[in-house]
Amino acid sequence: MDPCETRKVRSFADGKVLQRVIDGVAVVTINNPEKHNAMSLDMWHAFGEAVDVAAANEAVRVVLFTGAGGKAFISGADIGEFEKRRHDSRSTEHYANRAGRWKDARSQQSLA
């Protein structure tokens, strides 16, 4: 892979999750500082995508996770979407499954 290409910033979830690779280090940034990086369901999905992109890149040896804004890495789930996405037990279970799906798949993998 061209070293210049690895410095390109990839954007996921309308810019709420960013990923770039510099010298073998993939940096995944949670970029929702106005909400102390609270994670929406779309952001959880995008976070998994960003990790997948890093895992598929043979130049990546380390993945670093960070939060934008300097106040919080991740403050938790974005409660602003709970009424719409978690309004009953069935939708709450669906939300939890979708938000946690990336963790289950990655617990079986290693980037090293």
Looking at residue 9, what is its pLDDT? 92
Q: Which residues, 6+ apart, have CB-to-CB distance to 23 below 8 Å?
A: 6
Of 2 and 32, which is predicted with more confidence? 32
Q: Which residue has the tokens 């810019």?
A: 15
| Distances 67 to 22, 42, 94 between C-alpha atoms, Å | 17, 16, 26
Looking at residue 65, what is its pLDDT? 95
pTM: 0.76
Residue 106 CA to chain centroid, in angstroms? 12
Residue 12 has pLDDT above 50, yes or no: yes
Of 106 and 23, which is predicted with more confidence? 23
Strand (E) or helix (H) holding 96: helix 89-106
- Mean pLDDT value across residues 55-76: 93
In DSSP terms, 66 is beta-bridged to: 29
Average pLDDT, the chain: 82
Percent of the chain exceeding pLDDT 70 equals 72
Domains of the chain and any CATH numbers: 3-106 (3.90.226.10)
